Structure 1
Amino acid sequence: MTGFNRELFVNRTILVAGAGKGIGLACAQMAAAHGGNVIAVARTKADLDALAKQYPDNITSWVMDVTSEEFFARVKSLPVLHGLVNNAGLNRIGPMEEQPNENIDAVIDLNIRTLYKISQAAIAPMKRADCAAIVNMSSQMGFVGSPNRTLYCMSKHAVEGVTKAMAVELAEHDIRVNTVAPTFVLTPMTKPMFEDEDFKKFVYDMIPLGRLGKVEDIANSCTFLLSDLASMITGTSIKVDGGWTAR
């Protein structure tokens, strides 16, 4: 974690939704390491307890379901909020004609509706900040298509679209809104996928840099976009994809 001023987020409150594992955990760790007052949200208490032990002065743990009305109300009632990382998400892989309604509904509910509702709730406390930023977790699949990923691609294309609209609407309140769009990153969610050698070869062949992303790669981009270093950047995306979408 080098390159950023260690006081980048001092006196700033940053909420990370989906902070228990993987990318969300790395984002929470990096924000805390740079002085932020981090509200880390996840459903698993043990994950948040472990994070709080690392940064006892910087982490506030919310063991909550990010899809719940209780959570939205709690976000809205915050006295102030300077940064939000919308990282909660899921994937349901399979051929389009075999996707059941429950998969369609689950992806839409978490990846699109919940992201929208969290952002909506964050507006009020962000208006009370001198400036604020939202980072929506997208994907390279928000720019391209891929076999067996119609649901994920649909949801991430939606994230890219709503981010642009949010950026334009919220600019008058000095709230910036951007996305970070990773390629495949080795996390607890993706690890089982790479046990399939054919799939592993497909992914590596598609990435010109020839390697997977690391959670720190994604957290670095989120940190930049949340900070004043990106004060003139809104309505766009940082693709952390090793060149996948450049093909």
Structure 2
Amino acid sequence: MLFDLTGRTALVTGTSGGLGQAMAIGLAEAGAAVVAVSSSNSDETVRIVKEAGGRIEQVKADLSDLDGLGNVFAQAEEIFGGIDILVNNAGTIRRAPAAEHSREDWHAVIDINLHSAFFLSQLAGRQMIGRGYGKIINIASMLSYQGGINVPGYTASKHAIAGVTKALANEWGSKGIQVNAIAPGYIETRNTAPIIADGKRYDSILERIPAGRWGQPEDLKGPVVFLASAASDYMNGHVLCVDGGWMAR
């Protein structure tokens, strides 16, 4: 029963594929009703969940439009009622050396990865405070700890996500709300496709992973269900590395 999400509603962003799709499916498998929010269609995610007998609906939205986030959240609430679980997964990455990193790229990454996560958390937090219950799960990164190469905007956003997670946990922990983050290791997704295509870089990363493999999106199912469930009720402000042991090497 600790991991049962029956009767809970989860809003998950960035659900068209990759990590967001896997986490949305995992939450639905645990019994949650899921609102899938993405700038592109989440049709495949919806199909998979519904074919398995789960409850899911999608909202298409541009999360970089910060003025429109209130409407996005209101739509999500209307579908299944109040939001019990928020998973801030939507993200983007722009690759360019720091000396050439454009202002446009910087703001595009920060708006999606950081600003949308904070302001959606704010909207959810106001509602959760009133009910005395809630779970907010942010998606951090190995680059919440490291500097990376040619991704200064992404690195800045993921360091900030770790900080915001702790700040919100400090303010809202006494109000029945747990705010935690997942820091995925190297997972095979569209975002990591350029690294995967570079055989030498791919192999150098693989050599450092004690598990002996890159991660798959499905590896995030268990951790997100844990942080969304009663099993993590005394866990707050934590950034959970799901990395095959990368950080331990």
Q: TM-score, normalised by structure 2?
A: 0.89
Distance 2:92 2:156 in 1: 12
Aligned to 2:154: 152
- What pairs with 1:219-230 in structure 2 (closer than 5 Å)? 219-230=221-232
On the 8 A contact 2:84/2:128 being kept in 1, the answer is: yes
Question: Is the 2:215–2:243 contact (alpha carbons within 8 Å) kept by the matching residues of 1?
Answer: yes
Task: Kindly provide the amino acid, as one letter, of the partner of residue 62 in structure 2.
Answer: D
Distance of aligned partners of 1:226 and 1:49 in 2 relative to their CA distance in 1, 3 Å threshold: closer
Q: For the structure 1 residues 222 and 57, does the alpha-carbon distance in structure 2 shift closer, same or farther, using more than 3 Å as the test?
A: closer
**Whole-Å Cα distance in 1 between the matches of residues 64 and 120 of structure 2?**
8
Shift in Å, 1:6: 9.9
Distance 1:82 1:195, change over 3 A: same
Q: Give the drift of 1:246.
A: 2.2
Counterparts in 2 of 1:1-247, with a 5 A limit?
8-45=4-41, 46-51=43-48, 53-55=50-52, 57-68=54-65, 69-75=67-73, 78=77, 79-247=81-249
Decide whether aligned partners of structure 1 residues 175 and 141 sit closer, same or farther in structure 2, where only a CA change above 3 A counts: same
Task: Give aligned-pair identity as a percent.
Answer: 33
Alpha-carbon distance in 1 for matches of 2:152, 2:31: 39
Q: Quick one: which amino acid aligns to residue 221 of structure 2?
A: A
What SS is found at the alignment partner of 1:166?
A: helix
Cα distance in 2 for residues equivalent to 1:6 and 1:164: 24
For residues 55-99 of structure 1, what are the alpha-carbon distances to aligned partners after superposition, in whole Å with 9 as ceiling and x for unaligned? Answer: 565102112222333333341573522101100001112221111
Residue 166 of structure 1 deviates from its aligned partner by 0.5
Superimposed CA distance per residue, residues 173-219 of structure 1 (whole angstroms, 9 cap, x where no aligned partner): 21100010011111133234311112212211232322111212112
User: 2:132 and 2:7 mapped to 1: Cα distance?
Assistant: 11
**Would the aligned equivalents of 1:20 and 1:48 in 2 still touch at CA under 8 Å?**
yes
- What is the distance in 1 between the residues matched to 2:231 and 2:158? 26
C-alpha distance in 2 between matches for 1:7 and 1:228: 6
CA contact (8 A) 1:84 1:133 kept: yes
Q: Distance in 1 between matches of 2:209 and 2:12?
A: 28
How many residue pairs match? The answer is 243
Distance 2:118 2:236 in 1: 17
Q: Describe the SS at the equivalent of 1:242.
A: coil
Q: Which moved more, 1:229-238 or 1:196-205?
A: 196-205
Alpha-carbon distance change, 142 to 173 in structure 1, aligned in 2, over 3 angstroms: same
Check conservation: 2:29, 2:54, Cα contact below 8 A: no
Matches of 2:207 and 2:232, distance apart in 1: 32
Query: Runs in 1 of length 4+ with deviation above 6 angstroms?
Result: none
Q: CA RMSD in A?
A: 2.0
Q: Is the 8 A contact 1:177 1:234 kept in 2?
A: yes
In structure 1, stretches of 5+ residues that fail to align are none
Mapped to 1, the partners of 2:99 and 2:13 lie a distance apart of 32
Name which of structure 1's ranges 51-60 and 160-169 shifts more when overlaid on structure 2.
51-60
Q: Distance in 1 between matches of 2:208 and 2:20?
A: 25
CA 1:228–1:237: 2 relative to 1, 3 Å? same
Q: Cα 1:199–1:122, aligned 2, differ >3 Å: closer, same or farther?
A: same
Rounded to whole Å, the distance in 2 between the matches of 1:171 and 1:132 is 10
